[in-house]
Amino acid sequence: MATVMQKIKDIEDEMARTQKNKATAHHLGLLKAKLAKLRRELLEPSSKGGGGAGQGFDVTKSGDARVGLVGFPSVGKSTLLNKLTGTFSEVASYEFTTLTCIPGVIVYKGAKIQLLDLPGIIEGAKDGKGRGRQVISTARTCNCILIVLDAIKPITHKRLIEKELEGFGIRLNKEPPNLTFRKKDKGGINFTSTVANTHLDLDTVKAICSEYRMHNADITLRYDATADDLIDVIEGSRIYMPCIYVVNKIDQITLEELEILDKLPHYCPVSAHLEWNLDGLLDKVWEYLNLTRIYTKPKGMNPDYEDPVILSSKKRTVEDFCERIHKDMLKQFKYALVWGSSAKHKPQRVGKEHELEDEDVVQIIKKV
């Protein structure tokens, strides 16, 4: 492990020394690919001995979505969990009070959201320092991450946590790169682009591919991609998830400082101790999770508005709705009646491919 760590440090030092311009782009691309490979080795050590890959904390996934609280020690993660969920997580004025992962559940707009209070991470967590690897492995299983920051401490903490998560293959508030990478048996590297490229050229792409021992591939860019984007696609183990920066302890800063924080994107200022703006935080979490609530309607009865079926924004067809209720339901499915914004008329008779919208009412008609 020490040798891998040393190699990573050497490459990072060389990248810091190298000037960034067109002449060095090829060399930097090669270094970035080497770095990504070493990071992967660090996360998935060889099976010959030593510890296993980054193991998460054993917390059973429950509810409709999972939100993780990530941050440095003593920024108020446990207080936030206590106030939002009513779950007890030990709070004290010293660092590293929380030593394992403590789950709690919030019921919000009919959805059960599991909130995880993860232990504080330290700089170098991505390299296995502290319990960083376990913390970030668990963070990878979340649908949304809340990075909790201390309003009194400098904003540099935000950058450090982002760096730790990036090193673990978590991409915050980003979309997957819009480029296609297809391996083939022969024909060399075929590189095409629909836009003007300022970051990548054929030599850089070939250097990155040769580092991964890929000498035949079709690569198509649909936007001005960087070397990092290409490496992310080749590695394939990246997770893209929404993230909210929760600035805690705002009761200890001035109004002018708060106004500056308010201009930053993806931010939500709160005071967990005094319970300020916790409703605003829940609203923002709901918005970032982008969940769809579907109400069921048994035949001849009123819709059940108390207990909605929660679907993700990416999987919200009638078929997904049936599978969420019971996996055998599709075998008996004949058609569905839908009321709501996705229906052209009330009710609309639809098949299982129909996409549902938030707060639709659905009645399933079974085969006789």
Cβ–Cβ < 8 Å for 99, 119: yes
Domain assignment present for 51: no
User: What pTM, to 2 d.p., does this model score?
Assistant: 0.77
Q: CA 42, CA 5: separation in Å to the nearest integer?
A: 8
Domain assignment present for 54: no
Residues 201, 224: one domain?
A: yes
Phi, psi of 149, deg, nearest 5 = -120, 150
First to last CA, the chain: 63
For residue 347, whether the previous peptide bond is cis, meaning omega lies within 30 degrees of 0, is yes
Rounding to the nearest 10 degrees, give the CA dihedral for residues 217, 43, 15, 73: 140
State the residue for tokens 């290409």: 230
Q: What strands lie across the sheet with 333-339, from one edge to the other? A: 304-312, 291-296, 360-366, 333-339, 348-350
Take residue 236 and report the two structure tokens written for it. Answer: 């394939």
Q: CA 365, CA 368: separation in Å to the nearest integer?
A: 9
Residues 26, 98: one domain?
A: no
- DSSP collapsed to 3 states, 124-167: CHHHCCCCHHHHHHHHCCCCEEEEEEECCCCCHHHHHHHHHHHH
- Given this model, what pLDDT does residue 50 score? 45
* 184 to 181, 190, 211: CA distances (angstroms): 10, 10, 17
* 76 to 93, 95, 118, 253, 304: CA distances (angstroms): 10, 10, 11, 15, 38
Domain assignment present for 52: no
Residues 280, 304: one domain?
A: no
Domain assignment present for 229: yes
- Given this model, what pLDDT does residue 54 score? 47
**Which CATH number does the domain housing residue 137 bear?**
3.40.50.300
- Given this model, what pLDDT does residue 51 score? 46
Residues 128, 195: one domain?
A: no
Tell which residue, 348, 351, 353, 352, has the closest CA to residue 361: 348
Domain assignment present for 140: yes
Domain assignment present for 4: no
State the residue for tokens 């990878």: 140
In order along its 368 residues, the chain shows pLDDT tens digits of 457 778 888 888 888 888 888 778 878 888 888 888 887 776 665 444 444 444 556 677 778 889 988 888 878 888 888 888 877 666 665 556 656 777 888 888 888 898 888 777 766 555 555 566 777 778 888 899 999 888 887 677 888 888 888 877 889 998 888 888 888 888 888 888 888 888 888 888 888 888 888 888 888 888 888 888 888 888 888 889 999 999 888 888 888 888 888 888 898 888 888 888 889 899 999 999 988 899 998 888 888 888 889 998 888 899 989 988 888 888 888 999 999 998 898 889 999 899 999 889 999 988 88
**Which CATH number does the domain housing residue 316 bear?**
3.10.20.30
Q: CA 197, CA 216: separation in Å to the nearest integer?
A: 21
- Given this model, what pLDDT does residue 43 score? 65
What total of structural domains would you count in the chain? 3
Residues 142, 244: one domain?
A: yes
Take residue 199 and report the two structure tokens written for it. Answer: 């970051």
Residues 96, 139: one domain?
A: yes
- Given this model, what pLDDT does residue 196 score? 83
Domain assignment present for 326: yes
Domain assignment present for 3: no
Q: CA 233, CA 177: separation in Å to the nearest integer?
A: 7
Could you count the other beta carbons within 10 Å of the beta carbon of residue 85?
19
Which residues constitute the domain of residue 330? 291-366
